[in-house]
Amino acid sequence: MPKSARRCTLFILLYTCCCLQVNARQAGNRISITGRQLSLQSIFSKIQEQTGYYFSYNADIDVAQLMDVHFNNESLTIVLNTVLLPRYAWELDGHSINLKKALPGPATVKRYPPFNDTPALVMGRTLDETVIIAYGTTTQRVTTAICSWPVKVPTIARQVTTNPLLTLQGRVPGLLVTQSGGIGGSAVKVQLRGRNSLVNGTQPLYVIDGIPYNPVITGGLGSFIWGDKASAFNFINPDDVESIDVMKDADATAIYGSRGANGVILITTSKGKAGKAVIRAVVSTSLSHTARKVKLLNTSQYLDMRREAFKHDGVSPNQRNAPDLLLWDPQRYTDWQHELIGGTGHITSTQLSVSGGNDNYLYRLSGHYRKEHLVFPGSFGSTRGGLHISMSGKSTDQRFEANFSGSFLADNSDLPGSDFTSMIMLPPNAPPAYLDDGSLNYSWLNPYIGLIGPSFEGAVKNVLANVGLQYRILPGLILKTTMGYNWLTGRSAVLSPLAIIPPLLRNGRSGSSQHYRYEAISRIIEPQATYRLTKGSWQLHGLLGGTIQGYQEMRESLNADGFEDDALLRNIYYADSVYGKLESGAYRYVALFGRFGLNYQNRYLMNLSIRRDGSSRFGPRKQFASFGAIGTAWIFSEEPFMTPLKKVISFGKIRASYGTTGNDQIGDYQYLGEYNKADGAYQGVTGLKPVRLFNADFAWELTRKSEVALDLGFLHDRLLLSASYYLHRSSNQLISYPLPDITGAGSIIGNLPAVIRNNGLELSLSVERIQHNKLIWRSSFNISFGHNKLISYPDPTIPVEAVNPFVEGQALSQQYVATAMGVDPQTGTYQFADAENHPVPAAKAVENKAMDVAPFWYGGWVNNLDLGPFSMEILLHFVRQKGVNTTFDPDYMPGYQRNQYAVVQSRWQQPGDITDRQRYTQNGTLWSGYRKAMKSDLGYEDASFLRVRHVEVNWSFPKTTLRRLHLQEGKLYIQGQNLFTITRYKGLDPETQLRGTLPPLRVFTCGLKIAL
């Protein structure tokens, strides 16, 4: 950790500890509520806002009951007794206020025994559950913005994954989370409501406890498996996350200005809970293995393919071009899928925490340890551990509050230099991996050489710290400041020992190593002032604040060659030559923001937000920009004309919003001119040549968001339905303009007034509680339909650097491919359609068939079942999409010395055959047709899937057992992830759609949770 980081962290800790030396005397919450004809539900909402408690109650509680109230700084007990007794009884249970119809007799709380915190309707977990929004909180009932139901601790803690983003799969409407592999640290693609940019980033803005968090480790520390964009979320402990909230529309994201175009994901870490000290421990062990295998040719089929290829090509096999036919054992069979990715991985995980406090002081301290062994052969895996601390304190008069949260995680990973999945297509009759004496067999391309090298050794550390200070100077007026710090650093080495070279070829050779270092430091401070005022039926709230943020990133790589001894590879001092490069960048950001909200009679709601941004990523004449939004809502279920329908439609709200946000995921210094070394030298001096010109008007990409939504609650909110339609128009696209040679530079990056439209419909339906005897069922279903379209591209002469060219009027994900027309019955070569739909060879094919690989619709269905001490959760995740047909090997045609998917057996064999697979070949004469086939409609297939993403069964200890063991809670659980997938996809995995990458694994876990 750098000195500046240590000093900053030490200062924050000392300063916070000083602030938290407050009197810990128990003091009751004070409530102020004044109004005429307020509903009981409205009173509950106000109490929740002022205390943080939520209400739990059955459907027999008349929350529509109206009353006049006037409480000024009264205790919680007095307020509840006044509004509830003698009709209802109440009990305080942790952060829950449980309500129940009163029994006949004197009106006293103590005469009622404790009752469950799981009644038929739980106010605090449905419409009136606290939802985290930008710089504050609200509830689903009174929000005007489109905020997803938060994913909470129980859901996040159930996941075996090390990446908390994967807990969102299938749970949030409009959010598509896609894994790129089955190993922790691999990139995770997150897209919220479509793609808003032609060539720049479309990831949401991530904020952890108020700290913007960069989701990517650029360069991946040199790991081939992690990839160039390793996920930085792999180094956040999911067990320390309390909730994840997703912001979607302009009303929710415009206050983040130039960073909110792609949505915002707010992550809140765990905090202490009031009550006596509770020690919680979770211990689990897991087994993992590859969930799906592809059907490959066996030895007999493989050898037939090879012989047929030589026959069709008119070539005689010899020991040089066909060792598999003439030298290798024709009876030998090795299932390389089983050998290389068919092992069993092991995960051991422990989590220990202690938390408690009172009205004035809360604390939580936790630690975790995890060790994982991969499914690959060898001892590859990772070990990680860390600490998390959270403290908050209030003064005795409740006016001053200070809080601190911090976390540290260290991860050590030992991975192979390449993914063994890329070698499962080796010939099935390949020679043994080891000789009779136990040494490696170097006579062929032996995958087990990968156990020696290249290998990847990486160590990553992540520190997050946040301090919040606030003071209530007047009733309703609060001054607040938050300060955040993040330090993410990593070191790694990729070792290529001399031992990977066959012994007979080592003379004159040497080992080598590559060393990488990464460091990112982020600092932020945000002073704020909030004001709340209740005047009769009017509720007003305002927010004014500012942001100052700095971010620095450094990447260093060193290459060391000439090691004579493999034991010295980690020490570059012993290398013959060392060379490398250092890259660094800095980002500065300032902003002013404000929000004003209005609530009249809990029926008519309005919210205005505005932000003025300044960013170092934009040109000097465009460094500042303004963004804003308006959101409105009408809770029509509170209108008098809805009274007769209250028993059926218990809640109804119409929402609408419009606003502007920006996209700054454009990289640093892109507006500056760029120079490269010139070719050659003049008088022994190497010069520079311009590559890109300076652009002072380099500006942000702008997205205009509009939305309308309907929320309905039926049968006392037991059934909740939400429907949202959104329309996003993104313009001011940043692209590289080509320049004529006379300018001396090849290009200049500027804004093009191209317009991208994303529109879609999101539906969600949740069943809060249905009970039959002891069986309780809760369910939540969501489905999203999205469409993307490039509706305007003003200058088609300007090319865009992209894998597939963009076409005005079509989706960005759409590409045009050739139409395959089978193979020529006489020659066995691929044929394609020309402009008149006649079969022609590849060279004359026309690529005019539209192929869109973006999902058509996707969603998830969660079901929870409780039966006595048993509980179960099942998550189904589904996607409707087209995908890449991985039965086509991009490097080896069927007939080469490489195994193939079994589907290639439907090939052409003799004149007159009608099929869609060309003949076998062992040379390159048919490459043009094969490559065109991969880029035709043959190269894509249905990749839709329904996946059982998560299943968990819990058994809670009986109360007698808990008392005997002196436990507050005890639970045994078993769970499975990625249990099975229903799909027509022929490849390894329809989600990743990659041929040589380990897919998401099937994981079985058994664990124990206890609380003392």
CATH number at residue 232: 2.170.130.10
The domain boundary residue, chosen from 277, 304, 321: 277
Characterize 284-303 residue by residue with b for buried, 16 or more Cβ atoms within 10 angstroms of its Cβ, and e for exposed: bebebebbbebebbebebbb
Residues 210 and 247 in one domain: yes
Q: 29-45: buried (b, 16+ CB within 10 Å) or exposed (e) per residue?
A: bbbebebeebbbbbbbb
Q: 235 and 164, same structural domain? A: yes
C-alpha 395, offset from chain centre = 38
Q: Are residues 80 and 141 in the same domain?
A: no
pTM: 0.86
Q: Which of 248, 240, 242 is nearest to 265 (CA)?
A: 248
Domain count, the chain: 2
- Tokens at 852, concatenated: 């869109």
Of the three residues 277, 307, 336, the one that is the final residue of a domain is: 277
Tokens of 172: 């949030």
Label the pairing between strands 455-474 and 830-833. unpaired
Task: Write out pLDDT tens, residues 228-244.
Answer: 889 999 999 999 999 89
Sign of CA dihedral 559, 561, 565, 566: positive
CB 227 within 8 A of CB 497: no
Tokens representing residue 749 in the block: 């990056």
Looking at every residue in the chain, the average pLDDT score rounds to 88
In angstroms, the CA 430 to CA 449 distance is 14
Q: Which CATH number belongs to the domain containing residue 73 in this structure?
A: 3.55.50.30
Question: CA–CA separation, 366 vs 113, rounded Å?
Answer: 33
Q: Any residues with CB less than 8 A from the CB of 29 and at least 6 apart, and which? A: 50, 51, 53, 75, 76, 359
Q: Is there a domain that residue 5 lies in? A: no
Based on the fold, state whether residues 93 and 196 are members of the same structural domain: no
Domain termination site, one of 246, 277, 308: 277
Query: What is the torsional sign of CA 120, 124, 129, 132?
Result: negative
Query: How confident is the model at residue 24, as a pLDDT?
Result: 28
Does residue 315 sit within a domain? no
Domain span at residue 222? 130-277
Question: Residue 225 corresponds to which tokens in the numbers above?
Answer: 């498996």
In a domain, 382, yes or no: no
Given this model, what pLDDT does residue 125 score?
43
Distance of CA 664 to the CA centre of its chain: 19
> Which residue reads 């004309």 in tokens?
641
Give the chain's end-to-end CA distance (angstroms, integer).
35
Q: What pLDDT shows up at residue 59?
A: 60
86: cis peptide before it, omega within 30°? yes
Structure tokens at 115: 């009752």
CB atoms within 10 A of CB 820: 22
Cβ neighbours of residue 606 under 8 Å, at least 6 residues apart? 144, 597, 598, 630, 631, 632, 633
Q: Would you say the C-alpha torsion 735, 741, 742, 746 has a positive or negative sign?
A: positive
Question: CB of 455 within 8 A of CB of 414?
Answer: yes
Dist CA 174 CA 171 (whole Å): 9
Residues 243 and 182 both lie in one domain:
yes
The predicted structure's pLDDT at residue 23: 29
Give 542's contacts (C-beta < 8 A, 6+ positions apart).
530, 531, 532, 594, 595, 596, 597
Q: Are residues 212 and 259 in the same domain?
A: yes
Residue 170 lies in a domain: yes
* Domain match, 157 and 235 both: yes
The reply to whether 173 and 74 lie within a common domain is no
Residue 789 lies in a domain: no
Do 220 and 92 lie in one domain? The reply is: no
Same domain, 61 and 144: no
Burial of 687: CB neighbours in 10 Å, binned 0-12, 13-18, 19+: exposed
* Residue 260: inside a domain: yes
**Could you tell me if 136 and 193 lie in one domain?**
yes
- What per-residue confidence (pLDDT) applies to 1010? 93
Tokens of residue 231, six digits: 């996920």
Q: Please indicate, yes or no, whether residues 97 and 137 belong to a single structural domain of this protein.
A: no
Q: At what angle do helices 40-51 and 76-84 cross, to 10 degrees?
A: 170
Whole-number Å distance between alpha carbons of 975 and 135:
36
Taking 70 as the pLDDT cut, the residues of the chain under it are 1-29, 52, 58-60, 93-95, 103-126, 801-803
Give kind and range of the element (H or E) at residue 928: helix 927-934
**Residue partners of 548: CB distance under 8 A and separation at least 6:** 524, 525, 526, 589, 590
In angstroms, the Cα distances linking 561 to 221, 474, 491, 495, 792 are 19, 68, 19, 11, 52
Rg (CA), the chain: 31
CA distance 269 to 285: 24
Is 998 part of any domain? no
Residue 157 included in any domain: yes
pLDDT at 204: 94
